[in-house]
Amino acid sequence: MKQQELTRWVQSIVYTFVIFAFFSIFLYLRRGFYNLYIINKVFGSAAAVLAGLTLLIGPLSKRFTYFSHLMTIRRQLGLVAFSLALAHIIASLVQQKRFPFPAWYQGEFIPVIVGILAILVWGYMAYISRNKKIKEMGAEVWKKRLSLAGQLGFLGIFIHLIVMKYQGWIRWFQGQVKQTPELVNPSYPPASLFVFTIMLGIIVYRIIAEYIVRKSADKT
């Protein structure tokens, strides 16, 4: 691996570690314990945030030079996000007591199906992100396909999150969440609310940014 490529991977891992550590610490403080169940939540949260970051880097780098250096590691961040999403699936499948197969998955049919579709889209993105495929497709075609797939995958994860978690958010806002042995600080908001807020902000920003770009193009 070339030194430049290695540096990009190291930078991506550092960003991933910061995000992973934030959700790990917060969930530990809220739940009072840290095991595979919590780590699995962190896998999903970190994957969603990293995927969102890859969508945000482009528009931000055009307006703020500080973010331009992140353009060089966007592909690596996307691949790390995909790896964490796969880890989230595997960690869920091995926890049969919490997520019995197939009963639990049948009960959560809609978010599971949407999540699977999003993972398949991410898998396609990982497939075409190889240097060989980029050369075969050409840079312009590759960017367009990657951008479209990234947006579809991100939207799928967003829907997956909402359908899975909205009932818990409503209970928390209504003050119905009580202290239990697995929830020592129920006053702390669910970590998924942070993820939802971040993802919603990214979607809104992308819509506004693309609207501004179209308006500027129309004027010219």
pLDDT in tens, 72-105: 898 899 999 999 999 999 999 999 999 999 899 9
C-alpha distances in angstroms, 70 versus 12, 18, 48, 75, 186?
Answer: 9, 15, 17, 10, 36
Q: Given this model, what pLDDT does residue 60 score?
A: 82
| Residue-range domain boundaries for the chain | 3-174+185-219
pTM of the model: 0.91
What are the pLDDT digits (tens) for 147-173? 889 899 999 999 999 999 999 999 999
Please tell me the predicted confidence (pLDDT) of residue 5: 84
Q: Which residue has the higher pLDDT, 139 or 40?
A: 40
**Residues 40, 89: Cα–Cα separation, whole Å:** 8
